[in-house]
A and B are shown apart, each in its own frame.
Chain A
């Protein structure tokens, strides 16, 4: 349970950190604000989830210790969220694939038998619904835009597709949580994700890649080469001045 909430928190934390890097660099003022908004939503979710995860362990951990005191082998986020921002199409595609997963997941968690998790999910589901609306809107817009924007979106999809399978590889210990009604069944979420993504990709005039050799390992702390540098930047202050407060 502590592991599972930490995994969800790590997803939101890392993706939030990625989105923050767009601040001041987005293609339009309005997009800049929208991406920052989504980043802040995710950071709030990460804080809730990590604080809750910390409270479930008996140690003196808190959300800050989890966010700034762990190295990449201790991070359990999906590989998808740590992928570089690339250009706007890469960021959008990453966001869309993630939002399409987040929504059914949190909708399922709202009905969790664990009141703490259900409360966090209830708050998150409103935000995630908007995120999906944003990323799906842009996906369809750019997919049906110019020949170039369609090509860029297709390339982003082809690049990121191999990270999508990991969302549905559940750890053995998660089955017990499903049986207790704490978390929704993976198959259920996968079905909804497939339905959303197939429709979204079709609406955007893009082609789903043939099943790629999927990359997994994030949940086990085995990451791509991108997470280490991201953490080095994010945790710089705590690494140089451990325990620094202000």
Chain B
């Protein structure tokens, strides 16, 4: 079989206790349905009650490493821009 008709899919999985979908890897599949089934076999090892997202890799736009400067650096010297001076009340979870 040739890979020509088997585009790359990125796989995001939220496990049972998880709060959000995490990127776990990629795989090849002929269509979305097959991508879901493959993801379930390759990445979840049938842990019940998890949610899977598959996205065609071509749908993803990534930030460029050479843009790091203007994307991420400017705030580094301005500590007042980071919410680090708050104390969290007890009982707040998942922060």
Contact = CB atoms under 8 A, between A and B. Distances in A.
Given A137-B33, A137-B34, A141-B34, A28 B41 contact: no
A133 interface: yes
B37 A34 contact: yes
A30 B1 contact: no
Interface residues of B, number: 15
Nearest to A145: B30
A68 interface: no
B41 A34 contact: yes
B38 interface: yes
A30 B33 contact: no
A137 B40 CA distance: 15
A224 interface: no
Contacts of B38: 30, 33-34
B37 A28 contact: no
A37 interface: yes
Contact of B28 (A28, A133, A134, A141): A28
A28 B29 CA distance: 9
A29 B29 CA distance: 10
A27 interface: yes
B55 interface: no
Contact of A28 (B1, B31, B33): B1
B6 interface: yes
A33 B11 CA distance: 16
Contacts of B6: 28
Interface in A81-116: none
B37 A133 contact: yes
A223 B40 CA distance: 36
Interface in A68-83: none
A31 to B, nearest CB: 8
Nearest to B42: A33
A244 B48 CA distance: 36
Interface of A: 27-30, 33-34, 37, 130, 133-134, 137, 141
**5 closest Cβ pairs, A-B complex:** A30-B38, A34-B41, A33-B41, A37-B41, A27-B1
